[in-house]
A and B are shown apart, each in its own frame.
Chain A
Amino acid sequence: MRSQVPLPAAWLAAALAACAPNPSPPVKVMALVEQGPGALQPTQVELELVRDVVALAGPLGTFLGNARLTLDASDPQWQQATSDEARAAAITRQEGNPVHAHYIDKGGVLYPGDFHTWSLVTAWHGLEEAYRYWQGVGVPGEEMNGLQLHYFPEFRITAGSPVQPERDNAFFFAPLQAFVVLPFESLQGVPLALNAGVLAHEFSHRVFNRRVYGGATLPAPLVTWPVGGASAGANLLKAADEGFADFHAWSVTCLGPSGCNPRFLDPSLPAAVAEARDFSRADRCLSSAQRFAMEGEPLGTFDGRGGPYEVGTVIASALFQAAEKTAQRQEIQRAVLAAYANTAPQKPGLKETIASVANQGNLLKLETLANALLAQVEDLETRKQLCNELWGRLKLNGRVDNCPVASAPVSDCKEVP
């Protein structure tokens, strides 16, 4: 039967009824995936933790765009906030909108239709990769679900005076328990959102926050320990968080098509910064000055000049070298996770150690950290190698309790000034 609907009307009806794509997971999409160190290639991937592929929302979490976030220490609303919700409200000046990914359907595979959709989809894929890694290491999915990522927000940190929005960074922002990917400006390499290693690094911060600090928006050790001058314990926790995140990020790259890449920062950061963060160098070692600074500086000073990255790189180096030399990467991954929190009396994790030192943050030392890590390693040879690496690279004060008797510090590192 011939249709009685005139052609223009049919077009209008079609256009009005045009709905966004809504395939069931796994959703086949194209993303920019590293096929070699720094070599991005459009690659078909499957997103499994997404329910709305346009808004990029699902069990994994939600992506928001166009938010306005300001952390203003002089803001009375911030100062008077006593709950997580109140703090989040003080920071969030504009909630933002769900992102609106634009696709072109090619035979059931969704191709991103613009740069930001490529970026968003690739970021989502990167976070799914990190999620799967952590699941493999032993973190239940429910613990990782529901993340929030602010994509290209207007983000400011100030103490009352007007400041320009921050640029060129991606981080896990504990006060909101959210990831933040800022617009790029001076960084003109591979955007941070497209760097799976960077996303895995930030994802690891979230796991650390949940396991060690119980998901606190303002972790108590970082708030209460730094009172008055030196804050060795808080500095060490920040450094450990960075070092562990680098190690886990490297581990996540091992799951990708390009294989393990400890220099995952290279495509995105300036060469000097990436070089300083290269934990795969065999001669990476903690200098006396670095240790002195960590133990003597206030958190603000130590954090502000990148101290956590300096010390963290050495911690990551010890983990990396032990994993490479023993070929027991997964054992060390699991041990690091277990060191976050472990209620077994003989193997207390960082969470338990923090509780045990109470308000005496200065009691938390590199040796305490090494002991917490080594206690989680079952395999004796692996524990010995890890002990050797930690002992030699972190310049521990002698053999720590959980080092096997045959341990000896590695001596192939040199002090980086």
Chain B
Amino acid sequence: MSTARTLAALPLVALLAALPAVADEGDGAIPYPEDEQDAPAPARPARRRVVEDDLRQSVEEDEERSRPMAPLDDPALGLAGEVLGGIMLLDSSRGALDAQPAFGLRFTWELGRTLEDALLHEALFLDVGWLWSRQWAGTSAVFGDSSLHAFTLAPAFGFSLGGERSPVVAFLQLGGGLAYQATRISYEGGATDVSGVKPLLQYGGGLRGRPLINENGLRLSFRVELTRYRRHYMDDTFLGAGLGLDY
């Protein structure tokens, strides 16, 4: 809404800038260059100054009004929570991709709401996520069972789709975090646990939707995404979706 008001004010500003030129052109003979230095600046008629001042004041008031209106237009907190699910294409050590189911949670803070910039206000959000996948391989006698946890903090930028008021945005994301991995290798007569924490880079994109589901500002939150996780030097790919609520 605030963006709409700002945009609505733009023609007024343009009009304001054009008015003096129109007035000058219709206000007597154009002076020769040599006369310009000596000639006193033509006094603008008082009526035009009043109009001009009224317009400027109108624009300033409009901007002033629009600034605090944004949170009032959408009083939601800008917080969302989603459950994630999908397929993790794990970078398998055997030189192939190992497709495994993956699940997780994600909390989103629409960070842009704290900013006055109209563009960032709607576009910027920050995800805190946890994604889990598991990898099992081996025989009955010797097998490995690995759990992979990705903890990430990732800002994202959304591009409105279908107009300013569309509840769906396409987003790009880049962030990082930590990968915790725990592996148990089992063999006849025993088992050995190995675990470790590794740096994690997250990047990707997808579609994010927030359709309004009631008048109190509660929204459905969903995503379809393709996200890559660079787990130290291993590259995993998540194809998945999220579903939750946004307020």
B31: Cβ under 8 A from any A Cβ = no
CB within 8 Å of B: which of A296-321? none
Give 22 A-B contacts (CB < 8 Å), ordered by A residue.
Answer: A15-B176, A18-B201, A32-B187, A65-B93, A96-B95, A99-B93, A100-B91, A102-B234, A104-B181, A104-B183, A104-B198, A113-B93, A114-B93, A114-B135, A115-B146, A116-B94, A116-B137, A118-B144, A151-B95, A187-B139, A188-B139, A188-B140
Option from B146, B177, B192 in Cβ contact (under 8 Å) with A42: B192
Query: Inside 8 A of A99's CB, which chain B residues have their CB?
Result: 93-95
A42 to B140: give the CA distance in the assembly, Å: 17
B196: Cβ under 8 A from any A Cβ = yes
Name the residue on B nearest A185 (C-beta). Answer: B139
B99 vs chain A, min Cβ distance (A): 13
Residue-wise interface mask of B (69-110) relative to A, using a CB-CB cutoff of 8 A (1 in contact, 0 not): 000000000000000000000011111100000000000000
Query: Inside 8 A of B195's CB, which chain A residues have their CB?
Result: 104
Interface size class of B (residues with CB under 8 A): 35 or more
Q: Do B92 and A116 touch across chains, with their CB atoms under 8 A apart?
A: yes
A-B contact count, CB below 8 Å?
Answer: 138
Option from A15, A40, A111 in Cβ contact (under 8 Å) with B199: A15
Query: Inside 8 A of A38's CB, which chain B residues have their CB?
Result: 188
A19 to B198: give the CA distance in the assembly, Å: 11
Query: Inside 8 A of B91's CB, which chain A residues have their CB?
Result: 100, 102
CB within 8 Å of B: which of A186-222? 187-191, 194
A410: Cβ under 8 A from any B Cβ = no
A20: Cβ under 8 A from any B Cβ = yes
A68 vs chain B, min Cβ distance (A): 11
Q: Do B95 and A40 touch across chains, with their CB atoms under 8 A apart?
A: no
A189 to B93: give the CA distance in the assembly, Å: 21
B142: Cβ under 8 A from any A Cβ = yes
A38 to B139: give the CA distance in the assembly, Å: 14
CB within 8 Å of B: which of A111-170? 111-118, 120, 151-152
A54: Cβ under 8 A from any B Cβ = yes
Name the residue on B nearest A11 (C-beta). Answer: B176
A383 to B28: give the CA distance in the assembly, Å: 129
Option from B94, B142, B183 in Cβ contact (under 8 Å) with A66: B94
Option from B92, B136, B190 in Cβ contact (under 8 Å) with A41: B190
B194: Cβ under 8 A from any A Cβ = yes
Q: Do B185 and A189 touch across chains, with their CB atoms under 8 A apart?
A: no
